[in-house]
């Protein structure tokens, strides 16, 4: 797990594909002529609050180990932190295949989780207060793929995840005025950024008609209502050691 400053200063050795994906991410968030819609991500990146990991193949097991480390340390990284996960680019798949890959990954992560589901979160997806939870931490997750060609805010050269702890939004969106202002700003930046129209599933956390899971993986402009893809079942107690093998102090 690395900081942007470590990567940009050459303090870590990256493979070529890792350098290319990070360079693409860097250019996207620094673009002043075409500002990226997520203002929280842009501000967090400018302040070196984001953390990055690279995987040839993202699996629940290898992601879980880094995610445990992130969950235990993210409050020391800064109030607008995110964990960005890159997978080595491969043959481009369909939107539906990436969607299945994403939700299967979350299902598998949940099965590996050694901590109970947060008591403050409902387990039913069809609830405006639902959020994915891992290691006791509620989190908002965004998936980007190379198959997104019309919804460019969700496009990446490879399969990519951005994981934001709900804690990040506690102060930023804790009043109706703050939430409305932030939502308005993101919407204004989103409209000229994407070819596709703004998804009707984008909404504010806690609103009666909003469902967080519908925002995690957006389609490429079809805006179809999809059935619940995440099935949280009774989990057998996991004996998998999720402690990072080589924990790095950042």
pLDDT in tens, 64-106: 999 999 999 999 999 999 999 999 999 999 999 999 999 999 9
Q: How many CA atoms lie within 13 A of 88 on its CB side?
A: 8
The pLDDT confidence band at residue 173, using thresholds 50, 70 and 90, is low
Structural domain includes residue 222:
no
236 within some domain: no
Number of domains in the chain: 1
pLDDT given for residue 44 in this prediction: 93
Q: Using the Cα atoms of residue 20, residue 22, residue 27 and residue 28 in order, give the sign of their dihedral.
A: positive
Please check whether residue 53 lies inside any domain of the structure. Answer: yes
The reply to whether 86 falls in a domain is yes
**Distances from the Cα of 86 to the Cα of 48, 69, 129, angstroms:** 17, 17, 28
Query: What SS3 state is found at 8?
Result: helix
pLDDT at 238: 46
What length is written for the chain?
Answer: 250
Residue 229 lies in a domain: no
Contacts of 71 (CB under 8 A, 6+ apart): 134, 135, 136, 137, 165
| More reliable by pLDDT, 75 or 246 | 75
Q: Which residue has the higher pLDDT, 108 or 212?
A: 108
The answer to whether 52 touches 209, Cβ cutoff 8 Å, is no
Q: Is the pLDDT of residue 221 over 80?
A: yes
Q: Is position 41 within any domain?
A: yes
In a domain? residue 136: yes
Q: Which residues form the domain of 134?
A: 4-216
Global pTM value:
0.86
Q: Is 36 within the bounds of a domain? A: yes
Under 8 Å CB-to-CB from 204, ≥6 apart: which residues? 173, 179, 180, 183, 210
Q: pLDDT tens across 127-165, in order?
A: 888 899 999 999 999 999 999 999 999 999 999 999 999
Q: For residues 179 and 204, is the Cβ–Cβ distance under 8 A?
A: yes
Closest CA to 1 of 79, 105, 84, 80: 84
């Amino acid at each position: 797990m690395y900081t942007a400053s470590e990567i940009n200063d050459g303090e870590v050795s990256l493979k070529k594909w890792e350098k290319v994906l990070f360079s693409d991410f860097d250019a996207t968030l620094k673009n002043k002529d075409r500002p990226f819609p997520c203002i929280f991500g842009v501000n967090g990146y400018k302040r070196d609050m984001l953390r990055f990991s690279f995987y040839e193949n993202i699996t629940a097991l290898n992601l879980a180990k880094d995610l445990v480390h992130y969950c235990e340390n993210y409050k020391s990284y800064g109030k607008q932190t995110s964990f960005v996960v890159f997978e080595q680019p491969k043959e481009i798949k369909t939107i539906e295949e990436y969607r299945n890959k994403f939700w299967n990954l979350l299902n598998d992560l949940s099965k590996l989780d050694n901590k109970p589901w947060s008591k403050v979160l409902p387990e039913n997806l069809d609830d405006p207060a639902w959020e994915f939870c891992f290691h006791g931490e509620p989190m908002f997750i965004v998936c980007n793929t190379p198959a997104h060609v019309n919804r460019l805010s969700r496009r990446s050269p490879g399969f990519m995840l951005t994981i934001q702890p709900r804690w990040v939004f506690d102060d930023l969106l804790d009043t109706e005025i703050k939430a409305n202002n932030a939502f308005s700003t993101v919407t204004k930046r989103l409209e000229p950024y994407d070819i596709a129209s703004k998804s009707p599933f984008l909404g504010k956390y806690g609103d009666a008609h909003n469902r967080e899971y519908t925002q995690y993986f957006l389609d490429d402009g079809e805006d179809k209502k999809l059935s619940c893809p995440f099935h949280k079942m009774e989990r057998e107690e996991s004996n998998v050691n999720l402690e990072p093998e080589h924990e790095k102090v950042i």
